[in-house]
Amino acid sequence: MAEAPALIEAKDLALELPDMTARRGLGPRPLARILHPVSLTVRRGEIVGIVGESGSGKSSLGRTLLRLYRPTGGRLAFDGTDITHASEAELRPFRRRMQMVFQDPQSSLNPRHRIRTIVGAGLDLAPGAARGREDALVAALEEVGLEPALLDRFPHELSGGQRQRVGIARAIATRPEFVLADEIVSGLDVSTQAQVLTLLKTLARDRRLALAFISHDLSVIRNLCDRVVVMRAGRIVEEGACATLFAQPATPYTRQLLDAIPSPAPDPGWLTRGAVPPASTAIVR
Amino acid sequence: MTDPLLAIDGLSARLRKPLLRPLLRSVSLDVKAGEVHGLVGESGAGKSTIGKAVLGILPRAIEICGGAIHFAGEDLLRLPHRRLDAILGDEIALIPQDPMTALNPSRRIGDQLTDGLRLKRGMRGAALHARAVELLADVQIPEPEAVLKRYPHEISGGMRQRILIAAAFSLDPKLILADEPTTALDVTVQKEVLRLIRRMQAAHGTGVVFVTHDLGVVAQICDRLTVLYGGMVVEQGETATILASPAHAYTRALLAATPRHDQAGSGTTPIPPAVTAALATEVACYGMGPAAHG
Ligand SMILES: Nc1ncnc2c1ncn2[C@@H]1O[C@H](COP(=O)(O)OP(=O)(O)OP(=O)(O)O)[C@@H](O)[C@H]1O
Ligand SMILES: Nc1ncnc2c1ncn2[C@@H]1O[C@H](COP(=O)(O)OP(=O)(O)OP(=O)(O)O)[C@@H](O)[C@H]1O
Ligand SMILES: [Mg+2]
Ligand SMILES: [Mg+2]
Span B196-219, mean pLDDT? 91
Residue of A nearest to B245 (CA): A265
**Contact between B224 and B38 (Cβ < 8 Å):** yes
Q: Per DSSP, what are the bridge partners of residue B118? A: none
CA-based nearest distance A169→chain B, Å = 19
What are the chain A neighbours of B191 within 8 Å (beta carbons)?
260, 262, 271, 274
pLDDT of residue A23: 67
φ, ψ of residue A184 in degrees (nearest 5): -80, -10
Task: Please indicate whether, in this complex, the C-beta atoms of A264 and B215 are within 8 angstroms of each other.
Answer: yes
Residue of A nearest to B260 (CA): A219
pLDDT of residue B111: 95
Give the C-alpha distances (Å, rounded to integers) separating A273 from A246, A259, A262, B41, B224.
20, 9, 12, 28, 22
Residues sharing a CB contact under 8 Å with residue B187, sequence separation 6 or more, in sequence order: A53, A216, A217, A218, A257, A260, A261
Task: Please indicate whether, in this complex, the C-beta atoms of B150 and A276 are within 8 angstroms of each other.
Answer: no
SS3 A221: helix
**Contact between B131 and A261 (Cβ < 8 Å):** no
**Contact between A173 and B247 (Cβ < 8 Å):** no
pLDDT at B293 > cutoff 70: no
**Contact between A218 and A246 (Cβ < 8 Å):** yes
pLDDT of residue A107: 65
Q: pLDDT by residue (tens digit) across B155-166?
A: 887 788 889 999
pLDDT of residue B14: 93
Run of H or E residues at A73: strand A73-78
pLDDT of residue A53: 86
Q: Which atom of ligand 1 is nearest to the CA of A63?
A: 18
**Contact between B6 and B69 (Cβ < 8 Å):** yes
Q: Which pTM was predicted?
A: 0.85
pLDDT of residue A282: 41
- Integer distance in angstroms from the first to the last C-alpha of chain A? 46
Task: Please indicate whether, in this complex, the C-beta atoms of A282 and B260 are within 8 angstroms of each other.
Answer: no
Ligand nearest to C-alpha A34: 1
Question: Is A56 near ligand 1, meaning CB less than 6 Å away?
Answer: yes
Q: What DSSP designation does B3 have?
A: P
Residue of A191, A193, A198 to mutate, testing the B interface (most B Cβ within 10 Å of its Cβ) = A191
- B22 or A28: which carries more pLDDT confidence? B22
Q: What is the pLDDT along chain A (285 residues), one digit of tens a residue?
A: 557 789 999 999 999 998 876 666 777 778 889 999 999 999 999 999 999 988 899 999 999 999 999 999 999 999 999 999 999 999 999 998 999 887 765 667 888 999 999 888 867 655 555 567 888 888 888 888 888 989 999 988 887 778 888 888 888 888 899 999 998 887 778 888 888 899 899 999 998 999 999 998 889 999 999 999 999 999 999 999 998 999 999 999 999 999 899 999 999 889 888 765 544 344 443
CA-based nearest distance B151→chain A, Å = 10
Cα-Cα-Cα-Cα dihedral sign, residues B198, B199, B200, B203: positive
Nearest to A151 by CA among A160, A142, A103: A142
What are the chain B neighbours of A218 within 8 Å (beta carbons)?
187, 261
- Residue A114 has a CB neighbour count (10 Å cut-off) of 16
Out of B43, B143, B191, the one facing A160 most closely (by C-beta) is B43
pLDDT at B167 > cutoff 60: yes
Q: pLDDT by residue (tens digit) across B179-195?
A: 988 877 788 888 988 99
CA-based nearest distance A81→chain B, Å = 35
pLDDT at B143 > cutoff 50: yes
**Contact between A154 and A114 (Cβ < 8 Å):** yes
Q: What percentage of chain B has pLDDT greater than the value 90?
A: 57
pLDDT of residue B264: 77
Q: pLDDT by residue (tens digit) across B56-99?
A: 889 898 999 999 999 999 999 998 888 888 898 889 999 987 77
**Contact between A100 and A107 (Cβ < 8 Å):** no
Tell me the C-alpha distance between A50 and A228, whole Å: 6
**Contact between A34 and A60 (Cβ < 8 Å):** yes
Residue of A nearest to B191 (CA): A260
Cα-Cα-Cα-Cα dihedral sign, residues B226, B229, B235, B239: negative
Tell me the C-alpha distance between A113 and B106, whole Å: 32
Task: Please indicate whether, in this complex, the C-beta atoms of B268 and A161 are within 8 angstroms of each other.
Answer: no
Out of A263, A277, A281, the one facing B192 most closely (by C-beta) is A277
**Ligand 3: distance of its center to the CA of A49 in Å?**
13
Q: Per DSSP, what are the bridge partners of residue A82? A: A77
CA-based nearest distance A214→chain B, Å = 12
Range A237-269 burial, b when 16+ CB lie within 10 A, else e: bbbbebeebbeebeeebbebbbbbbbbbbbeee
**Ligand 3: distance of its center to the CA of A100 in Å?**
13
Give the C-alpha distances (Å, rounded to integers) separating B183 from A147, A264, B177, B193.
29, 16, 15, 11
Interface A–B counts its CB contacts (< 8 A) at: 171
What are the chain A neighbours of B147 within 8 Å (beta carbons)?
282-283
Run of H or E residues at B125: helix B125-138
φ, ψ of residue B209 in degrees (nearest 5): -100, 120
DSSP string of A111-176, one letter each residue: TTS-HHHHHHHHHHHSTT-STTHHHHHHHHHHHTT--GGGGGS-GGGS-HHHHHHHHHHHHHTT--
pLDDT of residue A105: 59
pLDDT of residue B223: 96
Give the C-alpha distances (Å, rounded to integers) separating B256 from A44, A89, A171, B216, B265.
30, 48, 29, 12, 10
Task: Please indicate whether, in this complex, the C-beta atoms of A261 and B216 are within 8 angstroms of each other.
Answer: yes
Nearest to A9 by CA among A32, A40, A33: A40
Over chain B, what is the mean pLDDT?
88
Q: What is the ipTM of this complex?
A: 0.81
User: Sorting pLDDT into bands at 50, 70 and 90, what band is B101?
Assistant: confident
φ, ψ of residue B181 in degrees (nearest 5): -70, -10
pLDDT at B151 > cutoff 50: yes
Nearest to A283 by CA among B160, B166, B186, B156: B156
What are the chain B neighbours of A186 within 8 Å (beta carbons)?
183-184
Tell me the C-alpha distance between B266 and B260, whole Å: 6
User: Sorting pLDDT into bands at 50, 70 and 90, what band is B137?
Assistant: confident
Q: Which residues surround ligand 3, an ion (CB under 5 A)?
A: A 59
What are the chain B neighbours of A199 within 8 Å (beta carbons)?
none
pLDDT of residue B68: 96
Residue of B nearest to A276 (CA): B192
Tell which phi-psi region holds residue B26, choosing left (phi > 0), alpha (psi between -120 and 50) or beta.
left
Pocket test for ligand 1, best of A53, A56, A257 (most atoms within 8 A of CB): A56
pLDDT at B289 > cutoff 70: no
Q: What percentage of chain B has pLDDT greater than the value 70?
A: 96
Q: Which atom of ligand 2 is nearest to the CA of B231?
A: 14
Q: What DSSP designation does B291 have?
A: G
Out of B156, B192, B195, the one facing A281 most closely (by C-beta) is B156
Cα-trace Rg, chain B: 20
Q: What DSSP designation does B293 have?
A: G
Question: Is A19 near ligand 1, meaning CB less than 6 Å away?
Answer: yes
What are the chain B neighbours of A270 within 8 Å (beta carbons)?
220
Q: Which atom of ligand 1 is nearest to the CA of A284?
A: 31
Q: What DSSP designation does B88 have?
A: B
> Measured in whole angstroms, how far is the alpha carbon of residue B81 from the centre of its chain?
23
Tell me the C-alpha distance between A128 and A113, whole Å: 23
pLDDT of residue B294: 32
| Residues present in chain A in total | 285
**Ligand 1: distance of its center to the CA of A58 in Å?**
8
